[in-house]
Structure 1
Amino acid sequence: MYRLPLSKLILLVAIVSSMSGQAAQQDKVLDIGDMPLGGDFTLHSSQGEFSLEQLRGQVVLLFFGYTKCPDVCPTSLAFLTQALNELTDDELKSVQGVFISVDPKRDSYEVLDEYVNYFHTKLIGVTGSETEIAAVAKLYGAQYYEVALEDSAFGYVVNHSAVTYLITPEGILRFVFPHETPPSIILEAIRHVLSGN
């Protein structure tokens, strides 16, 4: 299997802040803010309180989105799923995906569970109050805002940044992947971090 050289992976990450995402049919992909620092946070899932700190020892792949997203979120999660499916069982034990909903009004815990489980069992859906979500988004430079839709049963869409964040087992934000980063690159980064590099 072809493995992308690490130098190309690093180059991709270095230029992410200047790259624009692809627009969805009804919503717009926003750029992230200044290169984020990341950090620990606490939100909530169907299993109760969720803390990033509880995932120490695992590679975490973090994504901000919402379940009614027409195509940006499904595309990103599908690419992430492809990368996860290439991992061995042993590798997969040390990886966890986290989907943070920025639409707490519509994304209940039950809705989130059904949504992320459709993609992969190693994904967990979390959310919180608007204030809690905004605080986490600020840590990671994530941007989002609602846009009303006239004559639509959805009522509104949420324009949002659509990057995938890779956090090391030590809790350090290591890589930021723009929307539609190929699964092979995400896989290469996961394995690079799992190897202790």
Structure 2
Amino acid sequence: MKKVMLFGLVVVLGSLLMGVLFLWQPSINTSPSSSIASLGIAEAPKGGDFVLNAQGGAVDLKSLRGQVVVIYFGYTWCPDICPTSLGFLSAALDELTDDELRQVQGIFISVDPERDSLEHLKSYGEYFHRKILGVTGSDEQLKRVADLYGAAYRLVKNDSSTDYVVDHSADLYVVNQQGQLATTLRHGTLPQQIVTVLRGLINNN
């Protein structure tokens, strides 16, 4: 009798295990910047030069050769992700010496040019730090720059044409003094870690 009960228990447990294995799927991070595959591109993004607009005129990445450039894609209406990322970047910049800071430039690229005026972008970037420059461009320009750096964004419309949010990548793209994409820092990278990366590039490490 005991053997029969034991056999039945094994069968039941085996069936449950098979069901779990059949139904279980590994969790996949579908964040736009979580992987190359999720962006639909065949190889790692390489970065590259671009020209976008700021209140003071055109901003050409080529003109920033010799500086470490930190690029972030977002928009000023962003409720929490952008302020967090820019706050961390600002805290990192505050840790640099004056000489180090002269060798670094932050660029905040708005992917919402319809609502983010150049004047507002200037004040928004400077609110976080004087070394964060707000820029934007046409839809075509922004798409090209996002593709260069492996960023992604999309508008999520609500009831009205002006009431919408923008889903977007939340990484920091760090460009070295030669204008090459050196590394990508994931959202949530702590200020001290950002400082380490910046100092390493400043010192050509």
For residue 81 of structure 1, what is the aligned residue in structure 2? 90
Alignment of 1:116-127 (within 5 A): 116-127=125-136
Distance 1:108 1:30 in 2: 25
Alignment of 1:123-142 (within 5 A): 123-142=132-151
For residue 26 of structure 1, what is the aligned residue in structure 2? none
Alignment of 1:9-28 (within 5 A): 20=29
Match of 2:68 among 43, 52, 59: 59
Q: Is the alpha carbon distance of 1:157 and 1:95 closer, same or farther for their aligned partners in structure 2, counting shifts above 3 Å?
A: same
Unaligned runs of 5+ in 1: 1-18, 22-28
Distance 2:162 2:29 in 1: 26
Distance 1:130 1:145 in 2: 11
Residue 193 of structure 1 pairs with residue 195 of structure 2: no
Distance 1:73 1:196 in 2: 29
For residue 8 of structure 1, what is the aligned residue in structure 2? none
Higher normalized helix content (fraction of residues): 2
Task: Render the CA deviation track for 1:56-91: whole Å, top value 9, x for unaligned.
Answer: 000000000000001000000000001000000110
For residue 175 of structure 1, what is the aligned residue in structure 2? 183
Distance 2:186 2:162 in 1: 26
Distance 1:20 1:101 in 2: 24
For residue 19 of structure 2, what is the aligned residue in structure 1? none
Sequence identity of aligned pairs in percent? 49
SS in structure 2 at match of 1:62: strand
TM-score normalized with structure 1 length: 0.82
Alignment of 1:1-12 (within 5 A): none
SS in structure 1 at match of 2:115: coil
Distance 2:159 2:83 in 1: 23
Alignment of 1:25-44 (within 5 A): 30-31=32-33, 33=39, 34=41, 35-44=44-53
Unaligned runs of 5+ in 2: 1-27
CA RMSD of aligned residues (A): 1.8
Match of 1:160 among 161, 168, 172: 168
Distance 1:54 1:20 in 2: 36
Distance 1:171 1:31 in 2: 21
SS in structure 2 at match of 1:114: helix
Q: CA deviation at 1:20?
A: 4.9
Distance 1:154 1:31 in 2: 26
Q: Is the alpha carbon distance of 1:75 and 1:154 closer, same or farther for their aligned partners in structure 2, counting shifts above 3 Å?
A: farther
Q: Is the alpha carbon distance of 1:52 and 1:31 closer, same or farther for their aligned partners in structure 2, counting shifts above 3 Å?
A: same
Distance 1:20 1:119 in 2: 29
Match of 2:118 among 87, 92, 109: 109
Structure 2 counterpart of 1:63, which letter? Y
SS in structure 2 at match of 1:30: coil
